[in-house]
Amino acid sequence: MSGAPESGKTTTANMLAPRIDAIAIPHDNTKSLLLDSGVSFDEAGKVAYGLDWVLAENAMLQGLSVIVDTPCLYPQILDRGRALAQAHGYKYCYVELRADPDDLAVLDDRLRARVDPLRVQRTAIDDVPRGADKSGGGAKAEAEANAAARERFRAIVANLCRPTPNLIVVDACSSFDERVDFILGQISTTPDNEEE
């Protein structure tokens, strides 16, 4: 389950999970736990992905489906997900909650409305996660940092890693019920073998 921050990945994953006998693994929670344990922001991201995959494989060994809830920023995420699915005989589907990178007002409004965000989560498209290192430097430096954060957010939305086969694209502005129904329909028609 991929998509931009505040596209609704976690809520969609949590609503979908019981419908497909799955567990949802929220990467933001894993990474935040590591930050709370004193791991640096950059290192927490690397370690969290390792934990996500350990949890995913453990669930597969129990016969459960798995939803890894994370923006897919690195091709290694696709590779690891595919490899796990293949090793355990699972169908691999990539679900992306997509927003228009040229019209991010809806996502910005959602980010600004977050209540009690995790340390790894943004609170606006022109801000960095509150657990990330922020350097001082006055208003000019802050404005430059905000502009850079906004461009990075736009790049995340536009440049998520995506597989060619078994890609399910969902409108990030649709209702949660519409999303889940659409995803279920797409999963049922997706070939078991990615190469088909």
Which pTM does this prediction carry? 0.86
Q: What is the pLDDT of residues 5-34, one digit of tens each?
A: 899 999 999 999 999 999 999 999 999 999
Which run of H or of E encompasses 98? strand 94-98
Q: What is the pLDDT of residues 178-195, one digit of tens each?
A: 999 999 999 999 887 554
Looking at per-residue pLDDT, the higher value among 65 and 139 belongs to: 65
Percent of the chain with pLDDT over 70: 92
Q: What is the pLDDT of residues 35-75, one digit of tens each?
A: 999 999 889 888 999 999 999 999 999 999 999 999 888 89
Looking at per-residue pLDDT, the higher value among 129 and 62 belongs to: 62
Q: What is the pLDDT of residues 87-123, one digit of tens each?
A: 999 999 999 999 877 778 888 999 999 999 998 888 8
Angle between helices 75-88 and 41-61 (to 10 degrees): 20
pLDDT at res. 154: 83
Domain positions in the chain are 2-189
CATH class of the domain at 2-189: alpha beta
SS3 171: strand
Residues in the chain, overall count:
196
